[in-house]
Amino acid sequence: MNTLNRVLVVLMILLAIPLCSVVLITPVELARLLQAGLGNLAESLSQIRPEIRYGVGILLALVVDALLLLWLVLEVRPPRRIIRVPGVSGATVAVAVDSIRERLRYHLDQLADVIEVRPRVIPHRDGLQVELDVLTAPEVDVPRKAEEILQIARVVVEEKMGLRLRGQPVVRIRHAPYPRGERRPPAPA
């Protein structure tokens, strides 16, 4: 739904730019053009028999209203906050998204050189999308630490919790600033 919202906002802005420009630059000419066009439209619509005109209008209004109501329901419904655990026989098991997030935070905080972890867990029908914002010590070996973080995240989500990952987890690493007053190590040559 987020992608649809972004696309609609971009399209509305792209439409509003030339429309506002035309309205603000040539308001009188635009009003005359609209008056002539609406007069022609009214003349054309009056040629259609009223029962056909009203029937088609009601059908179109019902279709548009149904689509708008569906869109409204999809916008205001609360996001899924629990995930069903597949592969459990004899019962339905669900895990809260907050529990997954806390478990990832706990296990990843245990790693050396990791100062802070902010996991983001996004449930999908075909698995979990996991994004990890990690604050590390300034001198950490980024590729090695990223591999270690990915390994722990996979173990926690897939093996310990029995859930499926959707694609690869995303790891965004930030370094903590160097302590003040200490000399920074020379850059490797």
| DSSP secondary structure, the chain, as one string | -HHHHHHHHHHHHHHHHHHHHHHHH-HHHHHHHHHHHHHHHHHHHHTS-HHHHHHHHHHHHHHHHHHHHHHHHHHHSPPP-EEEPTT-TTS--EEEHHHHHHHHHHHHHTSTTEEEEEEEEEEETTEEEEEEEEEE-TT--HHHHHHHHHHHHHIIIIIIS---BSSPPEEEEEEPPPPTTSPPPPPP-
> What's the confidence (pLDDT) of residue 184?
61
> What's the confidence (pLDDT) of residue 185?
63
> What's the confidence (pLDDT) of residue 187?
64
> What's the confidence (pLDDT) of residue 183?
62
Q: Which ranges of the chain have pLDDT less than 50?
A: none
Q: Count CB atoms within 10 A of the CB of residue 67.
A: 10
pTM for the full predicted model: 0.57
